[in-house]
Amino acid sequence: MCFFRQLRALWLCVLVLWKYMQSTWEAKRLCEEDAKRFLSARYRVLAFLGARGLRQLGGVWPKVGQYMSTQGDKWPDEVLAELRKLRDAMPAAPFHTTKRTIEEDLGKSVEELFQHFEEQPIASASIGQVHKATLRDGRLVAVKVQHRHAARQIPIDVAYMRLLARFAWVLTLGEVDLMPVVTEWLGAVLEELDFQNEAKNQIRGRTELLEANVDMVVPEVFLSLCGRRVLVMEFVEGHQVAAGDASLTPDERLEVMTSLVKAYAHGLFVSGHFNGDPHAGNLLVTRRHGKAKCVLLDWGLTKQLSDQRRLAACKLIVSVGMKDTNGIVEAFREMGMNFSANADPEPELLLAILRQISLIENKQESRRMQAKFGETMQKAMSHKMELHTKVDSYTGDFFFIFRVASLIKGLATVLDIKAQFLEIFISVSRGVLAGRRPQRQQSLAPSGQRIWRVAAEALQRGAVGIQVAKVDANGQLQLSLSLGCVSYTSWQPLHESDPFPLGCTVLGAPLFATAVAAELRKRGIALNAPAKTFLWSKYSGPLTVGDILRGTKLICKAPPQATSRMLADLPALMKWLESAPAADGTAPAWWPSAEREAACAWLLKGGRQSPSSVMKDLFSEVRRPMFRACMSPIQISKPIMSVESAEVEAAQDSLVASLGADEMRAMHLTDVCLANHPALRDSERSFGQAASAASAAAAALHVKDELWDKATLSNQLSCAKRSRQGELAVVFLTCADADLALQLAELALET
């Protein structure tokens, strides 16, 4: 009997999904209006049949429909309307059965326990049903009673799903290992059968959210009235929310959603204990003191992360916000994901997926983006990027985090709410990684220095670290200012001596060119000398040494598979230059600077000098320190706090366009998100402070045309600006606004 029930479940899934896809194909042959009417009618029938089938199967299967009902950006409204009925409109047990369960578990009759007990349940789900009752002391309570067949059916369904996971592993020859995910989720489903465990989880969750001052309502549990199949809790008057709910204003819906996100941010990243089932059926909205509040129910499916996995989840979220693709892969590894040894993970695709999950838009826009994202994934697969071959095994912890984020996104779409919960997740994760912020006394700005006040205001707006230096025409230091923290995940004060990766600043390329030119002059090589004399034998184009130093001409084509490690490996780049096809006038945006660096290194090769050694010589001339790539804590890129859908689409299109050449990974290195990027630790990259870079740049200015011919150089990370009197101001930033560097440089010259 059980076998035929499972077979029926499989047949139902295959039949409904096939008819759903068939309807989509048939609609493509119709005009737009006819297609809409056709699909609406077909979806209504399929949804009704599918929901009825899941309801009849019972056990774990209705939970599949409950999960699908939260994916508002993936399914039509007709389907969602039917699937929502699986949350609280399942067949209810008769009262005499419910009464027998209560009396068996609690050892007393219903009349002894309750002053009044409503025989008709107010809701019935896959595992149990809920009745409204009144205790002997007059308090209203909700009594959750387990279906008597649940303890028999659900373990059988769990075993069947585990069998399907093993079957998938065998069919794919071990490439797809879903067993950790299935084991984790189904193990949690089995725990839901123990209502005493749910009671303890709910008490803990309520206590933690109250202590954290999160504006959520978790009903109080009466532990003395709870058994393995009976749970008694405070009755909270409320209702489920839906798009267009007249009882809530749009601002109130957004506020309710934000409080839910904050509650999950605390559970995921601070305590590690969170409700793993936040679908709309487990959420109510109530009013207390005239304010709408979110009520979080059903703590049966609850997850506890270990400290290691909790911190890894924090690193994952911060890496997504910092666009740190390599950090994403490292965080996945710390969470227990095993990547294939012979298949390099695709961190940029992981970043696109995570950003897609974290972006919450209104219903129409979210569905359009989902379709766009589907096209992106299809293109990725057409480029033979098979995601399932990149991972040997998935971790159950990641499954729950992914599931929670997906459910919240789907819920916001169903409610037609546009919100960004990535900002909240990043803020909480950053606080966890950085620790408690030390309380310091507010220092006063030096008299007359407006630059100090502007920098302090920028820190209040979200900038993390600021270094400003000013030197006179002779390189003598006149101003050195340092404010903020060394990185986005540390409260350690930024000091004037903390080094920045010079390759990310506007001074990196001109200082390196000056250092190479100085070394070549010692060998008697002029800037107008033909480069082919000093380059590889195959090159014969009209190119001078000065052209290489300034990067004014392309030499060859970019490598088709430019990984970040290759870009940090100068010998590998030099080897590519030696055999690469000649340039055809086009190149990726990141290639000219990488090519110039490799070509300059080749020019130094004859004198047995390296880029780091000539840079050190340049800084030594002005008696300032220069560092090689090291474990510097400085973070450069600005976090993604609010991403518009158009930006996500552009990022996805850029990703697909770069699948062949791996451009995004290469661009990530040139924009060094983290100075301690693993590929940089043993590289020839140079690090320096604003003061030392300013002094070196002032000295380089005496060499005509070797540094720059403009009064101002600026990018999002830095600015170098010189005055008519020859003074030079240099600004280095971490995680700040793009226009701040230029503003501070101008103020420094005025000081």
Token pair, residue 149, equals: 């067949």
Residues 560, 662: Cα–Cα separation, whole Å: 8
Q: CA 273, CA 204: separation in Å to the nearest integer?
A: 9
CA atoms of 349 and 4, how far apart (whole Å): 41
Please give the torsion angle defined by the CA atoms of residues 646, 648, 653 and 656, in that order, rounded to the nearest 10 degrees.
-170
Residues near 32 by beta carbon (within 8 Å), at least 6 away in sequence: none
- 387 by DSSP, 3-state: which? helix
> What are residue 607's phi and psi, to 5 degrees?
-95, 10
Compute the chain's Rg from CA coordinates: 31
Positive or negative, the CA dihedral 195, 201, 204, 210 is negative
How far from 345 is each of 339, 385, 444, 650, 665, CA to CA, in Å? 7, 10, 49, 22, 11
Pairing of strands 718-722, 728-734: antiparallel
Token readout for 660 is 């062949």
The beta strand positions in 418-493, using DSSP E, are: 419-420, 465-471, 477-487, 490-493
CA 76 – CA 40 distance, rounded (Å): 8
User: What token pair was written down for 266?
Assistant: 């605390």
Q: What angle do CA 56, 62, 65 make, to 5 degrees?
A: 120
Q: Return the axis-axis angle of helices 690-700 and 508-522, rounded to nearest 10°.
A: 50
Tokens of 681: 């630790």
Instruction: State how far the Cα of 612 lies from the Cα of 687, in Å rounded to an integer.
Output: 10
Distance CA 374, CA 435 (A): 39
Residues of 436-445 as b/e, b for ≥16 C-beta within 10 angstroms?
eeeeeeeeee
List active site positions.
277
Structural tokens at position 282: 């487990």
What value, to the nearest 5°, has the Cα angle with vertex 141 and ends 136 and 145?
Answer: 105
**Cβ–Cβ < 8 Å for 262, 249:** no
Neighbours of 291 (CB within 10 A): 11
What are the distances in angstroms from CA 708 to CA 321, 512, 697, 711? 34, 12, 10, 8
Which structure tokens are listed for 552? 């004014």
